[in-house]
Structure 1
Amino acid sequence: MSYSVGQVAAFAGVTVRTLHHYDKAGLLSPSSRSHAGYRLYDDADLARLQQILFYRELGFTLEDTAAILEDPQANALEHLQARQRQLGEEIARLQQLAEVAGRAIEVQRTGVPLTPRERFEVFGEITFDLSYAAQTERKWTASEGGREAMARAAAHTKEDWRLLMREAAAWRAELLTAFDEGEPSGGERAMDLAEEHRLHISRWFTSCPPDTHRRIADDFLADPRAFALVVPPPQQRRGLAAYLCKAVHANAARRTDGPADTGEKP
């Protein structure tokens, strides 16, 4: 039995345009034509269309679908297993994004609303890259410390943020002075500044033992967006991110080799 393109479109829940596209791409050409030149599909064509739509629903490209259907040696099971792995990874990524969005909603609900002018007054030249914020949340989402930092940040009042940023600015000025005066990154002065930064994180966000501080400092060196949250670009110097990272590692080694450190919040 033969079916017109309109009938097939109705059966399959696709548009006539989609069927024309499949025909043009060589993926599904009708088995015959009517005397007037209209496309006619038979049962075998419908079975092939069902396969095409199945692979499409799983996210296969038309090229991959054609390769599976046309090559008798193609191992459809291997393709399906590979796609299953990809879908599993995508599901996990989307779940993380959903959790990040949920926490962001809570921040908006419980956080302190700031006008643009107030935000500038509080944060000054420190800017927040939203895409980086989302990536950071996903990176630290499984960490208890990451969740705690998010919750405590949401609970800060505007005055808390003012005090926090004044403290950070004073520390940053000392860091820049030490760097400009050529203090070695492994020296006492630089390590003491690294320790002040570690305690600042513990005081305002979450417990920050030396190993965690190392990971944070590695981000400063690996991603300019992370370092910009500590030293805004207009104040940065060439090599400053590496300097701070080395100072943090030196301080972490100093504290690890010394008395036990818990990173306890004041």
Structure 2
Amino acid sequence: MTSEELYHRLKFLVSTTPALNHSRPTVEMQIWFGQVRAALSETGDLLNVSKFNSAVDAMGLPEGLLRNKARTDIMQCLYNAVGLLGQQVPASTSGAFLPVGNPHDALVAIRTVLATASCSVRLIDPYANGEILETFATQAAEDIVIEILTDEFTVKAGFAPAVVAWKKQFTTTRPLDARLAPKRTLHDRAIIVDSASAWTIGQSFSDLATRSPTSVLRADTDTAVLKINAYEDIWQKAAAL
């Protein structure tokens, strides 16, 4: 596993942390502990792995201070590994955390993702409005095919006019294909780059970092394949706008 793959694997494990407050370790917890242990072992940080194993052992103790410390240590070991690997992967592959009130940082984060495209980007947002084109799609380089997938039921009124205006202005330099997915078939916001990498967007593009903190995170390889295939299936069934 490359450093980049391991980095995204660890971030995925952080995002799928089960509830650790059960009186005894559950099957879900045990499976997750095993997955984290395997990933931490890949980092080569033996001290961190040892600390994690000790914390997992302590999860079998009665509820109390030692058990509380074990929960903290488990997550800290995971965060330590994410932080270490985050310094080893290119910034363009790691994603970004966006505090509330930082819309410019959101724009930069999306621009960084779109800059990795060599042929196409697919922006997915069930609540798309004109801003997804006016603010974000314009960050892609010329000649990159822009694909927008939104929901026929929840799309905003300003989206269709923005599509018409875009096609009139950028006839050949910025090709655009916008489609409406069947009602309620879209649940996430995402970016697919070159049909090869997938990014999860924590909020609708129009709301990025304006109301609450959010993140732009690259999916690990296995998750990316699932996302790309799922959205391609929806794309093929969607109606052209």
TM-score (norm 2): 0.25
Bigger fraction of residues in helix: 1
Bigger fraction of residues in strand: 2
TM-score (norm 1): 0.24
